[in-house]
Each structure stands twice: as C-alpha cells, then as structure tokens.
A = this chain, B = another copy of it.
Amino acid sequence: MNLQGRNIISIRDFTRAELDFMLSTADKMENLAKRGSDILKAKIMATLFFEPSTRTKLSFETAMYRLGGMNIGFSEPGVASIQKGENLSDTVRVVENYSDVLVIRHPMEGASRLASEFANIPVINAGSGSEEHPTQAILDIYTMKREFGSVDGLKVAMIGDLRYGRTVHSLTYALSLYSGVKLYLVSPDILKMRNEVLDDIGRMIDIEEGRQLKEIINKVDVIYMTRIQKERFADPAEYESVKGSYRLSKTDLEEARKDAIVMHPLPRIDEIDANVDSTIHARYFKQVWYGLLVRMGLLTLVLGSVP
C-alpha cells in the first residue's frame, strides 16, 4: 500500500485497510520518536494555522523534528498577508514553493479541502470548522488499538459536547470502519450529536443514546470525555444544572471495568477530576504520545518515506 502524495482531509476519504496501514506505520515510529532519525532530512513542513492550537502545532512540529525535517509557518490569526486580504488559494500557492507538505488549521468548514485542490503537495487537515479533525481521530483509534490490541468489538462511551466538538465526529466515522463497535452517546439535549451524522453512520455502527454515564460505565471499554463549553447554553442556569452529569471523578470509576480506559482530546478543564489522573484508567496523557507517533507516521506516508 502507498499513501505518497495523498491528502489527509477527512477520515471518510480512507478505507479500513488504509487506516490500518496508518496505524501499523505509527507502530514503526516509536523508536524513532525516542532516539530521533534523519528520514525526513531536508524536508520542510508548513503549518498554516489560521486558528491557534498550541497542542496540535507542537505535536506536528515535534513529529517533523524527530524525523529530521524542518518546519515553517504561522499560528497567529491576524497574520500579515491574510490581514491584507489575501485569499487561501493564493496563500497555498505561495507556501507550496517553500515546503513539501502543508498542515492546515482553519475556522472555516472545508478550508483544508479547498487548499488541497490548489496545492501540488500533500495537505493534512489539522482541524477545520467544527466537523473534521482527522489526525485526532486516527490517534484516538490508535490509542484504542494500542491499549486493547484491536478496535473491533470495543464498547465506547462518548460524553459531553457531541454536537460542536470537532474530534467527536471524525472519531465516530473512524469507529464505524471497525466491526462490532458499540457506541454510547451521553450528552445534554442541546449538545446531542446531529441527526445527519447519526443517520449517516447509524447503519454501520450500533449506537445507543440518551442514558447517563453512571448507567453504562460498567459496560464500556472506553470512556471518551469531552469539554462542555458554558457558552453553548442560552441559559446559564441550565448549564449549572447539567454540568455535574458530564464530569468524571475517581468515585465514578469504581463502577468501571478494571481495564476500562479514560480518554480525552485535551485540553481538559474540569470535566475530568484531577483525582482520576493517578488511576489505572487514565490514558489522556498517553494519547499525546500516541498522537506524536501517528503524526510521524502520516508525514512519512504522504512524503513517501516510510522506513
């Protein structure tokens, strides 16, 4: 299999076999991430972040540096040529002269796709609009595979903002590529997963909605927590009344399976209590490491440099 020159725009552009290939490439990166390598020496990645994201940017930069490559780019929304009114397609056609791969984050839905249509080099979507964040989904899947050996048959609870959170949609689609996955969706009514997403993947994956975390916590392998933003609620009182149901503490985990894992795309605010950090269930910091391996793998894949 060969993904050289491919864009990573949406998880929906890939088959299960391709996704598995990405995961097995990530496996090969673990040693390189620890001791460094020259696999991408003389290659340049351009990170065009029209919306700031420390975490994702640092992850991609580290991935490139651990492989011996370099990084250029910007991360300020008010970056100079953009302020002057330049459109995205011009920015892409300029920056592709400087780099071998583009990594784009943009507040606008579809921006990465548009960029990939103008670019003659591979484009990786590092988050665009509220729906797609494919590398986060791949690293989430990779975490599950590393922790359980296989993704097939896993029972996954997603908790919190399933409507606006951009990691949740990509992950849901990714999970739908595996067989026997059962998904529990736990969220306030106004933050429920959109019907079009549910309709789309409901045929491929077993979904159960509307229950409380405490009712299902003893059934699941993965507890995937997300941040609920107060601003999503028209009435602050409503937020105050529901927020407690979407927080996880050590006590809640007493009911969980021994080998259940807690994941979170980070940053977390208070939806996971600090007392969870030292339990055997916490994997959200480990996810960060897995994410580095996944991004290293993707960069070598699209640049045709898999060792």
Contacts and interface: CB of A to CB of B under 8 A. Distances in A.
A42 interface: yes
A70 interface: yes
A113 to B, nearest CB: 18
A90 interface: yes
Given A62-B99, A65-B44, A90 B268 contact: yes
A42 B66 contact: yes
A61 interface: yes
A215 to B, nearest CB: 29
25 contacts: A35-B42, A36-B42, A42-B66, A44-B66, A46-B58, A52-B80, A53-B81, A54-B74, A54-B79, A58-B73, A58-B74, A58-B95, A61-B98, A76-B76, A81-B266, A84-B227, A85-B269, A86-B266, A86-B267, A86-B268, A90-B267, A90-B268, A93-B285, A94-B266, A97-B292
A43 B62 CA distance: 10
A288 interface: yes
Contact of A55 (B46, B65, B81, B227): B81
Contacts of A4: none
B267 A85 contact: yes
Given A41-B36, A90-B266, A288-B97, A62 B72 contact: yes
Interface in A210-260: 227
A59 interface: yes
Contacts of A266: 81, 86, 90, 94
B94 A55 contact: yes
A289 interface: yes
Nearest to A41: B36
Interface string A43-57: 110100000111100
Nearest to A55: B81
A72 B25 CA distance: 24
Contacts of A66: 42, 44
Given A42-B35, A65-B72, A98 B58 contact: yes
Contacts of A84: 227, 267, 269
A268 B84 CA distance: 8
Interface in A8-47: 35-37, 41-44, 46
Given A288-B97, A292-B98, A54 B80 contact: yes
Contacts of A95: 58
B53 A80 contact: yes
A292 B36 CA distance: 25
Contacts of A99: 62
A269 B82 CA distance: 10
Contacts of A267: 81, 84-86, 90
A272 to B, nearest CB: 10
A58 B72 contact: yes
